[in-house]
A and B are shown apart, each in its own frame.
Chain A
Amino acid sequence: AQSVTQLGSHVSVSEGALVLLRCNYSSSVPPYLFWYVQYPNQGLQLLLKYTSAATLVKGINGFEAEFKKSETSFHLTKPSAHMSDAAEYFCAVSGGSGGSNYKLTFGKGTLLTVNP
């Protein structure tokens, strides 16, 4: 079965510092990959998605992610953190080998804290 691993349940950065949130998937066949963000007391919002068109994907709010097949990774980055980026971030996958095109499998989430 398809799975997603997010390294680090909690990441803390200073305002202005680089944000790096890690995500690895388990499929040998490239799946569809997504990053969602959840602000406190809200639902999930799509940040960006990879659907095989380009390996470097740009999303909203200055975030981007790079698909690396050799590393089975889809890490999320932002060059300069802002206080408003504090939220929980989820990596999700569908399709690929062992996966389904009819469901999203989520990682356990990474809580991002931004310190002033």
Chain B
Amino acid sequence: EAQVTQNPRYLITVTGKKLTVTCSQNMNHEYMSWYRQDPGLGLRQIYYSMNVEVTDKGDVPEGYKVSRKEKRNFPLILESPSPNQTSLYFCASRAGQGFYNEQFFGPGTRLTVL
């Protein structure tokens, strides 16, 4: 089944404790992206990757890191989480370079930073 998977689905952590949220897709998509969703703000892009070893900042990159060492994986790293990073996070992927192609979303990771 074609899908985007994220782990963990739920995470409660404390301020300053490094964490990684994994994202993997099995569709051989070039493009992958991370979003955060907050009430009343919709989805905002954190980082995206056009292909292996090619990443760029989205609208809200502060406090986040990403890497793209393999085509299928695009982990999101919070090196020193803070309470304002409490949010619902989505990973997405799509084929090709243009945005006329559908973006496929993972099920989401709900992160709480105390």
Contact = CB atoms under 8 A, between A and B. Distances in A.
A94 B105 CA distance: 17
Contacts of B92: 44
Interface stretch (B35-43, B66-74, B78-86): B35-43
Given A32-B99, A32-B100, A44-B90, A108 B42 contact: yes
Contact of B43 (A9, A49, A106): A106
| Chain A interface size range | 20 to 34
A101 B98 CA distance: 6
A95 B107 contact: no
Chain A contact residues: helix, strand, loop or mixed: loop
A102 B105 contact: no
Chain B interface residue number, banded: 20 to 34
Contacts of A95: 99
A93 to B, nearest CB: 9
Contacts of A107: 42
Given A90-B42, A103-B48, A42 B100 contact: no
B61 interface: no
Given A9-B40, A32-B99, A51-B100, A43 B105 contact: yes
Contacts of A103: 33, 45, 48, 58-59, 99
Contacts, number: 56
A102 B97 CA distance: 7
Contacts of B99: 32, 94-95, 101-104
Given A51-B100, A102-B48, 10 more contacts: A9-B40, A32-B99, A102-B50, A102-B56, A103-B58, A103-B99, A104-B103, A106-B43, A106-B44, A109-B42
Interface of A: 9, 32, 36, 41-46, 49, 51, 90, 94-95, 101-104, 106-109
